[in-house]
Chains A and B, each alone.
Chain A
């Protein structure tokens, strides 16, 4: 056998074909990595767990029945939904039930203006007292669409998912760039395809993975909400989840290009941290902002238009109902335009730094080429 037998008819790959080959490899290799599978599973489980926990927490808060013993006519009290009424004959018997723990409190005739007295074991039953009290009518002039605590959790959820996915895949893409540089396999790659096709393939491959993960999480969240009968919440959350997925896809391309070009500046895995720190900050700042300023309208509005924080800020505002219908579209255009610019500069930095090994390449040098 000679090499002549193996001669193959080759034809040049198009840019798209080269990029797809690269993307395909990125995806296959990542799906084979145990670290990736495990971290994805943890993220997914965390989301499902938080939904289940939310359902249990919500259920216990709203639907737990308070058992009470009533002396006298319990019919009126039996109408109160959250009370489980046991009618007893005497105050003594009611007290006995309270002591035995069969009921949480007893409602017996009293001398005060309400005409009733509550008997409890060692602590005034606040819920019950509130339930039996007369409250004045309240009118809110600017009602909040959403429950504040829930809004915080939703913001935190978007923040964590974006932060984790961006960090996970950003680091992955950076490592994969440096792997090629440090092993010099990049020289072989670049004698076959262009640096831009290589970058495009990497960004596409990792974006697909990140996007797949986000869709999986979003689907799990939606299914989780339906299964745990939190459909009402789903109605509120649905549109913002969809926007989150859309913004994530674009926002991730932006970050991926940044991570890849930053990583191309160095030649060793140990140096990745030093060059990706600025990019990492761009991911972390929105996360902290949403944690600390989730209820600040101004901060959220600014966040929803700054490309790096829009994937968190805009869906949050959609959820809170503070965004006009056109605002997500406008923000999407801003983030798309930024992405185009960043990808153009990024690919230049990437192409110019790829073969320079040893010391860290300066960004300006890489741009000049």
Chain B
């Protein structure tokens, strides 16, 4: 488990990170969401030891991280970049070897990964000659080529087409399945919602929420229900303990003071005729996010 504990970073008067604490569990895909300038990249750089924190500590498996642990991290920086004039495979081998992988293993890993990411045909092309999407895949390969035990990816999906997103998701799932903590930031909240086990929300350098996706939704649940009936649903307005938020013919979205009030609505609907659907409304991560970061 990767623990970020009370990490603070200041740039002059500006506090970029204010006692940031959260955890990335083993084998958990953890989404890291926040607006621009919220502190995602700074946090990731501190985890990687690329930046140093003013205070606070990052632990892996309970003990503070040292340079030798970080060598086993896979990192994809926010701003993409590999050596433009180096060949894809050559570059991956080089990066793997810098992380301490032997030449033979580095070459084997490179071949496997390029295969996996559908880049095998481009192995001897220079990075600058690749399309943007393929450069992105190469970048992901660079984060994985030394078989990292922890993955930190800053916006891994930006610039990928839907097919590539699926390919990359598959690879990330594989890494997580082996028990590696995987932390990735994303602006695409729908992707985070679909993919992640856990979510961490950061705003203005402070963690606003963290935990499993389910917990986040439960914590921020509102008692909202959607009803769809065959006849006109105007009567819902008259029900006690109920506030109608949206209404259109047979459709009503309402907030109930308690479960009993909601059940009352359902019972009356059934008495009045056919009910097409009745369900509590789950708020999307986007909604929760915008509320949490306020």
The residues of A with any CB-CB pair to B shorter than 8 Å are 1-13, 18, 21-22, 25, 29, 179-180, 182-185, 187-194, 355
| Residues in chain B near residue A7, CB distance under 8 A | 147
Bound state CA distance, A270 and B49, in angstroms?
29
> Known: A5-B112, A179-B83. Is A21-B50 also a contact (CB below 8 A)?
no
Q: Give the residue of B49, B80, B101, B171 whose beta carbon is less than 8 angstroms from that of A184.
A: B80
In contact, B48 and A12 (Cβ under 8 angstroms): no
Q: How far is the CA of A150 from the CA of B147 in the complex (A)?
A: 62
The residue in chain B whose Cβ has the minimal distance to the Cβ of A7 is: B147
A11 and B99 CA atoms in complex are apart in Å by: 8
User: Cβ of B175 < 8 Å from any Cβ of A?
Assistant: yes
Number of interface residues of B (CB under 8 A): 49
**A98 shortest CB reach to chain B, Å:** 68
* Further 17 A-B residue pairs, CB within 8 A, beyond A4-B174, A9-B105: A3-B144, A3-B174, A6-B108, A6-B113, A8-B109, A10-B99, A10-B105, A12-B68, A12-B100, A21-B94, A179-B83, A184-B80, A185-B83, A187-B45, A188-B143, A191-B75, A192-B100
Partner of A192, one of B86, B95, B102: B95
Contact B142 A188 (CB under 8 A): yes
List residues 63-106 of chain B with CB under 8 A from any CB of chain A: 67-68, 70-73, 75, 77-86, 94-102, 105-106
Is there contact, CB below 8 Å, between A3 and B178? yes
A83 to B18, CA, bound (A): 95
Chain B residues whose CB sits within 8 angstroms of the CB of A25 once the complex forms = 94
Quick one: which of A10, A18, A194 contacts B72, CB cutoff 8 A?
A10
* CA A192 to CA B97, docked complex, whole Å: 9
CB of B218 closer than 8 Å to a CB of A:
no
A298, chain B: closest CB distance, angstroms: 48
Chosen A-B contacts, 25 in total, with CB atoms closer than 8 Å, are A1-B112, A2-B177, A3-B144, A3-B175, A4-B178, A6-B109, A6-B113, A8-B147, A10-B71, A10-B146, A11-B100, A12-B71, A13-B98, A18-B98, A25-B94, A29-B83, A179-B83, A184-B78, A185-B81, A187-B45, A191-B75, A192-B100, A193-B98, A355-B50, A355-B51
